[in-house]
Amino acid sequence: MALPATAPRILCIGIPVRDLTFRVEAVPARGSKANASHLAEICGGNALNAAIAMARLSGRVAFAGPMGDARERSSEFILAQMAQEGIDTTHIVRMPGLTTPVSAIMIEPSGERTLTIYRDPGLWTVKLPDADKLLADCQAVLIESRCGTFCIDLCTEARRRSIPVIVGVDRAMSLQDELLTAASHLLFASEQVQETAGITEDGEALKRLSTLTPAFLAATRGPLGTIWLNEAGELEETAAFPVQAVDTLGAGDVFHGAFALRLAEGKGVREALRFAAAAAALKCTRHGGGPAAPQRIEVEEFLRSQP
């Protein structure tokens, strides 16, 4: 599908992953074996799932980050999938002798997933291209929280240029993490916001973090919806859409991508959160991670059908 010339350009920064997904009746007990009913090989990783979602939702998406050796099969598989989605891969850095991450994911009938992943430690030594190249004609930056070590300067420069920097947080952050102040929007999962703040309640955890960062703060809670702080520092909630989930893999990443795209389109956080909730809900009704993200027309039709 040809994108309109006015479609916003969004830069995604992360580390792509080759995912091997297995559908199982239940995660096997320690030391045991289990047969899978289905196997799929897909591309994944937090930022790449978000990038695929944005491309499906009519954004112009560029990707930057490290990948393994140019002779490696996993990276070639991922690059082919990215090209198929129309994602600009010219800023990806191939790293000689290193391995692109690979994960094994078990998905139960409820949609819950259990995974293990290998990431080559050398990938974090990557040097990204020049900021002028990466940020040219850029309306937003989306980054995996774990990648701050190699792109904090880029995020700082983006904010200096008044470009929003959206961070998808999928692990606890240090309270000294520079992304807390370099980001304009921090999207946590419930568990991670509690671990980061050291408080076992989402709303209070967000309020604690608001004393450390000027960024917009939200925590996603799956079927319970999203809790967030408005400009007055008051807690608000955006409901999730009830669906029959079959696979939650990548749902949070799709949420982050849809949210970032809507912001880049000039919409406010309320509309962006509702749009993101719809995109994530539709993803959960399908097997697959980012490659199961919905198209723009599906999200718009789904929203029109809701009260």
Query: Quick one: pLDDT at residue 54?
Result: 98
Q: How far apart are CA 225 and CA 218, in angstroms?
A: 10
Residue 3's pLDDT is what? Answer: 53
Q: Cβ contacts of residue 60 below 8 Å, gap of 6+?
A: 3, 7, 8, 9, 10, 88
Among residues 275, 167, 291, the alpha carbon closest in space to that of 217 is found at 167
Torsion of CA 174, 176, 178, 179, to 10 degrees: 40
In a domain, 260, yes or no: yes
What was the pLDDT predicted at 96? 96
Report the pLDDT value the prediction gives residue 1, as an integer from 0 to 100. 47
The residue behind tokens 């897909």 is 42
d(CA 106, CA 281): 20
Domain enclosing residue 266, as ranges:
9-16+45-99+122-304
Going 114 to 120 to 126 to 129, the CA torsion angle's sign is negative
Report yes or no on 23 lying in a domain. no
Residue 239's contacts (CB-CB under 8 Å, 6 or more residues apart) are 225, 277
Residue 141 forms part of a structural domain:
yes
Here the CATH number for the domain that contains residue 227 is: 3.40.1190.20
Q: What is the pLDDT along the chain (307 residues), one digit of tens a residue?
A: 445 557 999 999 999 999 999 999 999 999 999 899 999 998 999 999 999 999 999 999 999 999 999 898 899 999 999 999 999 999 999 999 999 999 999 999 988 889 999 999 999 999 999 999 999 999 999 999 999 999 999 999 999 999 999 999 989 999 999 999 999 999 999 999 999 999 999 999 999 999 999 999 999 999 999 999 999 999 999 999 999 999 888 999 999 999 999 999 999 999 999 999 999 999 999 998 888 999 999 999 999 999 8
Number of domains in the chain: 1
For residue 22, is it within any domain?
A: no
Give the three-state DSSP class for 1. coil
Quick check: is 278 in a domain?
A: yes
The answer to whether the Cα torsion of 146, 237, 254, 251 is positive or negative is: positive
Side by side, the strands of the sheet bearing 113-118 are: 38-44, 17-23, 102-107, 113-118
3 lies in some domain:
no
Q: Is residue 110 part of a domain?
A: no
Could you tell me if residue 26 is inside a domain? no
> Taking the C-alpha atoms of 273, 276, 244 and 305 in order, what is their torsion angle to the nearest 10 degrees?
80
